[in-house]
A and B are shown apart, each in its own frame.
Chain A
Amino acid sequence: MVVTRRFLIALLFVSVSAHAGSARMTLAVAPDLDADADYWPGEVGRPAVLILHGFLQTRDFPTVRRLAEALADTGYSVLLPTLTLGLDHRHQSLPCEALHTHSMDRDVAELRAWVGWLAARSGRRPVVIGHSTGAIQVSALLDGDAAFDVERAVLISLTFFGAELGPDRVAALTARARADMTIDADAFHDYALSYCTRYVTSPTRLLSYLRWDRDELRRALGHSRVPVTVIYGSRDRDVDRGWLEQLRNDGVTLLPVTGANHFFDLANEFDLLDAVVSAVDRGGHG
């Protein structure tokens, strides 16, 4: 891919993270654009795991941060990156109203870069875990060539773009973006995406995300060359159970966690860990 080719992947430096046992990793994902990640080297022979955060969040988001630390403690090598979303060394969650110069393609490209880095670092294909929209981006990663570098995919609280808006608004929004694009593809407009009711971006970038709706995801996961496990909470209102059942039919493993919500917080933290370990180990054994 053109975007992928544009990336110059280089390990700039490694610094010790504030988190115990982790190190901060910086990856030049574009000219004058560096991405940061925390890395926990694991035990030899244990899986390497990459965990991707959700929409506009960072690696400090609690769900992924706790999961990464738990897996690191288990002996896994864990890489926890933060997508730049167009911001150099981004370390803050990006507000909905900010200028969103990132796109789905660039996000996946950065993810692919980190997968390559982890594979190179650990010497084995990593298990890629995504949370929420991070799970969409992992799914998009599986849809390309990079799938060969991935051992397994674990998708936590999987959803798809447009789920919050409903089909009609998504259709209208898509139509408006396409119309805007005819005028100026790079001009910024107020749109809506995911939980952002005001999402400032260009129509091209908006459409890069909206493309990944339920059908596109089902297609991608249905054709995945690596095992995919979907972990979801029984109380998660953002997931479409019917759609998940469709995925199960397509060969995706579903691991529901009873009582958990979208973020698996507090009491369901260990259930999530158990589910993830189960999903990772299952693949390892398989």
Chain B
Amino acid sequence: MARRRCGLTIGGYALLMVVLLLLAVLSYGGFTYSEFQRVRADVETASMVAARDEIGEAMDREMRSALALAARYASWDEVMQQLRAPRYYAYWRENRMRDAGVLPPRVVDAEIYGPDGVALAQFDHATLPGQVAIPPPPAYVDYSGEVPSLLVFRAVYSDSVVIGYTGLRIAFVDELRHGYGYRYADPDSILFQPPTTETLTWADLKANVTFALRENPMSEAVTKLLSGTILNLSIILGVFTLLLFPALVFLIVRPLRAISTHIDRLKDSPGGLVLDDLAGILPIAETEKIRESLNAYQSQLVEVHSSLEEKSHELWSMAHHDALTGAKNRRAFEEFMHNLPHVLGDRDIGVCFALFDVNHFKAINDTYGHSVGDQVLKVIGGRISSVLRKGEELFRIGGNEFAVVLLDCDETSALRIAERCHEKIIGHDFSKLGIREPMRISAGLAIAHIDDLEDLQTLQWKADVAMYRAKRPGHANVVMFTEALARDSEGLFSSWVNTAVYDAVVYGKGLEMFYQPIVDLANGNVCHYEALVRIRQDGELIQPSNIFPVIEARRLEVELDRAVIRKVLADLKDGVVCMGTGVSINLSGPTLVHERVCSWLSGFEPFLKDYRVMIEVTETALITQIGLANENLSRLRARGFDIALDDFGSGYSSVRYLSSMPVDVVKFDTTLVQSLKDRGQANMIIHLAQMILESGHHLVAEGIEDQATLESARAAGFGRGQGYLMGRPAERTGLKRISFDNVTPFPNDRLA
């Protein structure tokens, strides 16, 4: 059985997919944001370098501007004027210098020095030194104030002669911040870290600059746009993903669950269920196709189911009826018997089981063909049915066996019905079918009361017993079961007898051969002995009347015959049978037609020079497959075996068969031999015997049990006889004794 695989539901997979999708969206969003931050940091680093470069360039320009300013100031005519006439310097410095427009506002102070480096005048509020070194120092940054300022000194020339110096203090920070355009640096953030000394060169000042990057509107806009885009995208994808789950559930999971539930419902009530609309206003093509296909399949299944029911009914009918006769068959019979107690319920009524068997049906079949046989069965079935009451059914439970269960029926009624059936059959004109022989049936009846369940279960067995008795020669064709019959048929139906027969046939266990002499009626000498089978089980001897029903019922004829052959051969080897006599063996029909029968009997061939070995066959056995049987018998006969037709007169006693059979000896059945004593029948038997004798056969009279019969047989022309009068069947030790006194060796020539 395939192991059932347990997996997630589609809803679980949908949820898992949504969770994975959300994780992917968040991961990708986070990754994109981190990448964006990294690029932004790179841009910021590059911007810092660019900002530092542009500030450095601005400082260079500022320095050049300061130097130009100093040059301009130094070349100002009025500066010359002050150097020529410093008398008015104080007035000029305070009132004119700044108003002349020569010095821009960022020049917070200016000074004029004489050729000795001393300022033309000393002022308390002067921010420039009162004296400078000669020559003055290059421009430097002064940190003495709150903000650094640039001090620039320059010589004043007249006719290439230094006539003095000028000094400017320039507040360059504001100019640096606002006098130049910056793309990267935020000008308001430009600061200079105070050094450890009050002065600093311009070059060193560059290293002290600090600044912040200008807020780049484009970059900020891009940042904002990208951040917003990532956020919005994440939100949109997240919402979409979250919406995806109910959408998946609505569009796929729900229809599939509906389909799954529908299929589960179909298990309980297949067919007829229609799967309605799955997705409502949003149908999915695939699920709709599944739904339509499922409904179509259901529709077809219903049709098939209906057809199957019809077929099943038909099949049931076929399975429960015999196609040939129209009667119910074995299966129906068994079901009927099984259900019988339930059908009858508590009713205390008698149930009669009647079993009908067509006598010698196989011979009819083989003689006239199966078509005729079938017609016979149909006629017999119809005849029996015509006798039955309403509600009573006929069952054909075997090849030529019919059964009827008669309800609410006593022994008298049952016997009457069975006899009417028999009468109906024998009254039918079977010659229309080309059958010349009279058709007979054997009927076995058994009655039980429905309240006795055990009795009911043995009803068929009882009818079987009765029917076997009815089939026995010399018994009525309709037999009611009695306990006495049961005892007589113990062998057939006793389990220990069955076991003993089986062990004897298969393993040779308990199998013993009894020998009955066939004597020459003229001189009383033993011609040969008929080997008769017995089985000894636990010291008790089982008679043939109990052995052969079992053998026939179990189809063990061939096995029994082979066991008998082996046993007789052993007895011959042991010298049980006196030389000069012979032994006859009964072989069944199946053995006779077996392809290997000659090889099985080949073991007797070495004994043929000293013993007469006779194969006894019955006409019933012969007519089964008479062609093949005659062939085998002819072959055996050619090898030296004698062939005897046994029990002639008990069956059909067909002269046509006899004339076509390779038979040396004809053994008249006991019933015929006994009939010799009946003057009415004796004449015909005598003539029959004479006719057979004249056709070249030897005659053996069976069943000679008294002197009168012996004489009659002699008078009728029988040369040999067999019966209790001459000797009962004896076991091998007894055989010696019997044969010893009466032995008269057969002539070496054939009986003919």
| Chain A interface residues (CB < 8 Å from chain B) | 32-34, 86-92, 94-95, 97-99, 101, 188, 200
B88 CB–A CB distance under 8 Å: yes
Q: Which residues of A contact B92 (CB under 8 A)?
A: 99
Q: Which residues of B contact A95 (CB under 8 A)?
A: 100
Tell me if A188 and B88 are in contact (CB < 8 A). Answer: yes
> Shortest Cβ distance from B564 into chain A, in angstroms?
168
> Shortest Cβ distance from B527 into chain A, in angstroms?
186
How distant is the Cα of A99 from the Cα of B80 in the complex, in angstroms?
A: 12
**Given A88-B158, A188-B88: A97 and B81 interface contact (C-beta under 8 Å):** no
Hey, what's the 0/1 contact readout for B122-153 against A, CB within 8 Å counting as 1? 00000000000000000000000000000000
Interface set, chain B 56-100, CB cutoff 8 A to A: 77-78, 80-81, 84-85, 88, 91-92, 95-96, 99-100
List 11 extra interface pairs beyond A87-B77, A98-B100, A188-B88, CB under 8 A. Answer: A32-B84, A86-B85, A87-B80, A88-B81, A88-B84, A88-B158, A91-B77, A92-B77, A97-B96, A98-B96, A200-B95
Q: Which residues of B contact A98 (CB under 8 A)?
A: 78, 81, 96, 100
Q: Which residues of A contact B78 (CB under 8 A)?
A: 87, 98-99
- A-B interface, 9 closest residue pairs, ranked by CB to CB distance from nearest: A87-B77, A87-B81, A92-B77, A99-B92, A88-B80, A99-B88, A188-B91, A32-B84, A90-B77
Contact among B84, B95, B99 for A33, CB-based, below 8 A = B84
Contact among A94, A97, A188 for B77, CB-based, below 8 A = A94
Q: Which residues of A contact B99 (CB under 8 A)?
A: 97
21 CB-based A-B contacts, threshold 8 Å: A32-B84, A34-B159, A86-B81, A86-B84, A86-B85, A87-B77, A87-B84, A88-B80, A88-B158, A89-B158, A90-B77, A92-B77, A97-B96, A97-B99, A98-B78, A98-B100, A99-B78, A99-B88, A99-B92, A101-B81, A188-B91
The DSSP consensus for interface residues of chain B is helix
How distant is the Cα of A91 from the Cα of B158 in the complex, in angstroms?
A: 13
Tell me if B81 and A200 are in contact (CB < 8 A). Answer: no
Tell me if B80 and A200 are in contact (CB < 8 A). Answer: no
How distant is the Cα of A95 from the Cα of B85 in the complex, in angstroms?
A: 18
Tell me if B85 and A101 are in contact (CB < 8 A). Answer: yes
Tell me if A99 and B81 are in contact (CB < 8 A). Answer: yes
Q: Which residues of B contact A97 (CB under 8 A)?
A: 96, 99-100
Tell me if B88 and A101 are in contact (CB < 8 A). Answer: yes
Interface size class of B (residues with CB under 8 A): 10 to 19
**Given A86-B85, A188-B88: A99 and B77 interface contact (C-beta under 8 Å):** no
Q: Which residues of A contact B77 (CB under 8 A)?
A: 87, 90-92, 94
How distant is the Cα of A99 from the Cα of B77 in the complex, in angstroms?
A: 11
Q: Which residues of A contact B91 (CB under 8 A)?
A: 99, 188
Instruction: With CB as the reference atom, state the residue of chain B lying closest to A93.
Output: B77
Q: Which residues of B contact A94 (CB under 8 A)?
A: 77
Tell me if A200 and B96 are in contact (CB < 8 A). Answer: yes
Interface set, chain B 304-318, CB cutoff 8 A to A: none
Q: Which residues of A contact B88 (CB under 8 A)?
A: 99, 101, 188
> Shortest Cβ distance from B157 into chain A, in angstroms?
11
How distant is the Cα of A158 from the Cα of B390 in the complex, in angstroms?
A: 173
Q: Which residues of A contact B158 (CB under 8 A)?
A: 88-89
Instruction: With CB as the reference atom, state the residue of chain A lying closest to B79.
Output: A87
> Shortest Cβ distance from B279 into chain A, in angstroms?
96
How distant is the Cα of A276 from the Cα of B53 in the complex, in angstroms?
A: 62
How distant is the Cα of A90 from the Cα of B100 in the complex, in angstroms?
A: 16
Tell me if A99 and B96 are in contact (CB < 8 A). Answer: yes
Q: Which residues of A contact B84 (CB under 8 A)?
A: 32-33, 86-88
How distant is the Cα of A32 from the Cα of B96 in the complex, in angstroms?
A: 22
How distant is the Cα of A225 from the Cα of B585 in the complex, in angstroms?
A: 207
> Shortest Cβ distance from B120 into chain A, in angstroms?
13
Give the one of B84, B95, B100, B158 with max A CB within 10 A: B84
How distant is the Cα of A94 from the Cα of B77 in the complex, in angstroms?
A: 8
How distant is the Cα of A112 from the Cα of B91 in the complex, in angstroms?
A: 31
Q: Which residues of B contact A91 (CB under 8 A)?
A: 77
Q: Which residues of B contact A200 (CB under 8 A)?
A: 95-96
Instruction: With CB as the reference atom, state the residue of chain A lying closest to B80.
Output: A88
> Shortest Cβ distance from A197 into chain B, in angstroms?
14
> Shortest Cβ distance from B680 into chain A, in angstroms?
193
How distant is the Cα of A89 from the Cα of B77 in the complex, in angstroms?
A: 8
Tell me if A89 and B96 are in contact (CB < 8 A). Answer: no
> Shortest Cβ distance from B96 into chain A, in angstroms?
6
Q: Which residues of B contact A86 (CB under 8 A)?
A: 81, 84-85
Q: Which residues of B contact A90 (CB under 8 A)?
A: 77
Instruction: With CB as the reference atom, state the residue of chain A lying closest to B76.
Output: A92
> Shortest Cβ distance from B49 into chain A, in angstroms?
45
How distant is the Cα of A98 from the Cα of B80 in the complex, in angstroms?
A: 12
How distant is the Cα of A33 from the Cα of B85 in the complex, in angstroms?
A: 10
> Shortest Cβ distance from B6 into chain A, in angstroms?
105
How distant is the Cα of A90 from the Cα of B85 in the complex, in angstroms?
A: 14
How distant is the Cα of A88 from the Cα of B484 in the complex, in angstroms?
A: 181
> Shortest Cβ distance from A31 into chain B, in angstroms?
9
Q: Which residues of B contact A33 (CB under 8 A)?
A: 84
Q: Which residues of B contact A101 (CB under 8 A)?
A: 81, 85, 88
Instruction: With CB as the reference atom, state the residue of chain A lying closest to B91.
Output: A188
> Shortest Cβ distance from A35 into chain B, in angstroms?
13
> Shortest Cβ distance from B114 into chain A, in angstroms?
13
How distant is the Cα of A195 from the Cα of B100 in the complex, in angstroms?
A: 17
How distant is the Cα of A86 from the Cα of B159 in the complex, in angstroms?
A: 17
Interface set, chain B 199-225, CB cutoff 8 A to A: none
How distant is the Cα of A86 from the Cα of B78 in the complex, in angstroms?
A: 9
Give the one of A92, A94, A98 with max B CB within 10 A: A98
> Shortest Cβ distance from B78 into chain A, in angstroms?
6
Interface set, chain B 91-119, CB cutoff 8 A to A: 91-92, 95-96, 99-100
How distant is the Cα of A228 from the Cα of B35 in the complex, in angstroms?
A: 92
Instruction: With CB as the reference atom, state the residue of chain B lying closest to A198.
Output: B99
> Shortest Cβ distance from B163 into chain A, in angstroms?
8
How distant is the Cα of A95 from the Cα of B95 in the complex, in angstroms?
A: 13
Hey, what's the 0/1 contact readout for B142-186 against A, CB within 8 Å counting as 1? 000000000000000011000000000000000000000000000
Q: Which residues of B contact A99 (CB under 8 A)?
A: 78, 81, 88, 91-92, 96
Give the one of B81, B91, B159 with max A CB within 10 A: B81
Instruction: With CB as the reference atom, state the residue of chain A lying closest to B88.
Output: A99
> Shortest Cβ distance from B29 into chain A, in angstroms?
70
> Shortest Cβ distance from A201 into chain B, in angstroms?
10
Interface set, chain B 364-410, CB cutoff 8 A to A: none
> Shortest Cβ distance from A228 into chain B, in angstroms?
33
> Shortest Cβ distance from B175 into chain A, in angstroms?
25
> Shortest Cβ distance from B162 into chain A, in angstroms?
14
How distant is the Cα of A86 from the Cα of B88 in the complex, in angstroms?
A: 12
Instruction: With CB as the reference atom, state the residue of chain B lying closest to A94.
Output: B77
> Shortest Cβ distance from A33 into chain B, in angstroms?
6
> Shortest Cβ distance from B32 into chain A, in angstroms?
67
> Shortest Cβ distance from B73 into chain A, in angstroms?
13
Q: Which residues of A contact B85 (CB under 8 A)?
A: 86, 101
Instruction: With CB as the reference atom, state the residue of chain B lying closest to A188.
Output: B91
Interface set, chain B 578-627, CB cutoff 8 A to A: none
> Shortest Cβ distance from B700 into chain A, in angstroms?
184
Instruction: With CB as the reference atom, state the residue of chain A lying closest to B101.
Output: A95
> Shortest Cβ distance from B127 into chain A, in angstroms?
23
How distant is the Cα of A188 from the Cα of B96 in the complex, in angstroms?
A: 11
Q: Which residues of B contact A89 (CB under 8 A)?
A: 80, 158-159
How distant is the Cα of A101 from the Cα of B158 in the complex, in angstroms?
A: 19
Q: Which residues of B contact A92 (CB under 8 A)?
A: 77
Q: Which residues of A contact B80 (CB under 8 A)?
A: 87-89
How distant is the Cα of A88 from the Cα of B82 in the complex, in angstroms?
A: 10
> Shortest Cβ distance from B72 into chain A, in angstroms?
11
> Shortest Cβ distance from A244 into chain B, in angstroms?
35
How distant is the Cα of A94 from the Cα of B159 in the complex, in angstroms?
A: 20
How distant is the Cα of A34 from the Cα of B159 in the complex, in angstroms?
A: 10
How distant is the Cα of A200 from the Cα of B77 in the complex, in angstroms?
A: 16
How distant is the Cα of A91 from the Cα of B84 in the complex, in angstroms?
A: 16
How distant is the Cα of A91 from the Cα of B76 in the complex, in angstroms?
A: 10
